[in-house]
Structure 1
Amino acid sequence: MQFRVEAYYRPQHGDKRELLVAPEDVDELIDSLLAGPIHQNLAELHSLERSTLPSGAPDHELLVGADQSLQVGVLEFMDASGNWTTVGLQEGRTEVRYSCVNHMTEFPAHSEIPIDLIRRAVKEFCLSGGQRPTCVQWENPEFW
C-alpha cells in the first residue's frame, strides 16, 4: 500500500514539501497537526498520482484540519467538480477556523467530524490516487 502525496503544513515545507508514502505517514501527519501550534493545525495535500493543469499546478487539493482540544477535524476537497467540505454533526461549532502556516481558513458551520474519521478519509484519499474520499459526507457550500 504505497502512494505519493505531498503535504504542506509547516514553514519548512515551503521549500520542500513533506512526502507521504504509507498509511503510517498519514497518522504521523495528523498527530503532528494535533500536537503542533494552533496556527499550524491545517495541512494542504496533493497526490502526485494525479495529472497537473497545463500550468503545472495540481488539479486538486485536500485540506486537512485537526483540533487537539476537541479531537475533531475538517476536510475540504477541491477539483474540477467543485469545492467540497465535510458535513459534521449539527451540534458542532458554528465558527470553524483552522490555520496552515499562519494562513487562517474559515470552514462552514458544523463541518467538523471525529478525528478517527479524518484519519480514515485522508488514508482513502492517498490510497485512491487523490480522489475525494467516500467514507465521509460532503456538501458543496454555496457561500464558501
Structure 2
Amino acid sequence: MAAYYRNEHGESPVALRSPADVDNLIDELLGDRSENVAVLHSLERPLMPAGVPDHELMVGADGGLRGGVLAFMDDGNFVSLGPGGGRGEVIYSIMGNVAEFPERSEIPIMLVRQAVKQFLSSAGKRPACIEWQVPEIW
C-alpha cells in the first residue's frame, strides 16, 4: 500500500506492508496537527487507463481527540459514520491543505486502526468493520 501524507511523499510515497506499518502511520498522524490526514492506495488493484488508482482511502487522526475519520472512494464516496451528534465542524489537514469531513464522521482511533489494517489485508476493498455514510455534499 502506498501512503501520501507529507509534501515530500508526492514523488516518493511511504510503503505500508504490515499492521505495524499501519500503526506507525497512525501514530505519526496523531502527533501532528498540521498534517494529520494520509491518502492511501492499494498497490494490488489495477490502475485506470490514465495510470491513476481507481480508489482512495483517506485516513485522519486527531491526537487531541484520540479519534479519526475515514473516507473511501471508488465507484462512490463514503465517509465513516461516528456515534452521537458529532462535534460540528470536522476539519483535518493534508499536506498543508484543509480537509473537511461531514459531521458525525469521527470514530474512535481503535476503529480507524482496524479499518486501515482491513484495507491493507483485503487488497484495497472498503473496510467492513465500521459503519459508513454517503455524504450529502462532498
Query: Would the TM-score normalized by the shorter structure come out above 0.5?
Result: yes
Aligned partner of 1:31 among 27, 31, 51: 27
Q: TM-score, normalised by structure 1?
A: 0.93
- Kindly state the Cα deviation for residue 111 of structure 1 after the two structures are TM-superposed: 0.5
Q: Residue 76 of structure 1 corresponds to which residue in structure 2?
A: 71
Aligned partner of 2:13 among 11, 14, 17: 17
Question: What is the CA–CA distance in structure 2 between the aligned matches of 1:105 and 1:78, rounded to whole Å?
Answer: 15
- Percent identity among equivalent residues? 54
- Kindly state the Cα deviation for residue 91 of structure 1 after the two structures are TM-superposed: 3.1
Q: TM-score, normalised by structure 2?
A: 0.97
Which runs of 4 or more aligned residues in structure 1 lie more than 4 Å from their structure 2 counterparts after TM superposition?
Answer: none
1:1-144 mapped onto 2 (5 Å cutoff): 5-36=1-32, 38-80=33-75, 82-144=76-138
- Kindly state the Cα deviation for residue 134 of structure 1 after the two structures are TM-superposed: 0.2
Question: What is the CA–CA distance in structure 1 between the aligned matches of 2:129 and 2:109, rounded to whole Å?
Answer: 13
- Kindly state the Cα deviation for residue 60 of structure 1 after the two structures are TM-superposed: 0.1
- Kindly state the Cα deviation for residue 90 of structure 1 after the two structures are TM-superposed: 2.1
Which structure 1 residue ranges, 5 or more long, are not aligned?
Answer: none
Which structure 2 residue ranges, 5 or more long, are not aligned?
Answer: none
- The residue type paired with residue 70 of structure 1 is L
Question: What is the CA–CA distance in structure 2 between the aligned matches of 1:83 and 1:31, rounded to whole Å?
Answer: 26
- Kindly state the Cα deviation for residue 35 of structure 1 after the two structures are TM-superposed: 1.1
Question: What is the CA–CA distance in structure 2 between the aligned matches of 1:11 and 1:78, rounded to whole Å?
Answer: 22
Pairwise CA RMSD of aligned residues?
0.8
Question: What is the CA–CA distance in structure 2 between the aligned matches of 1:47 and 1:137, rounded to whole Å?
Answer: 21
1:55-88 deviation line (CA, Å, top 9, x unaligned): 00000000000000010100000001x0000000
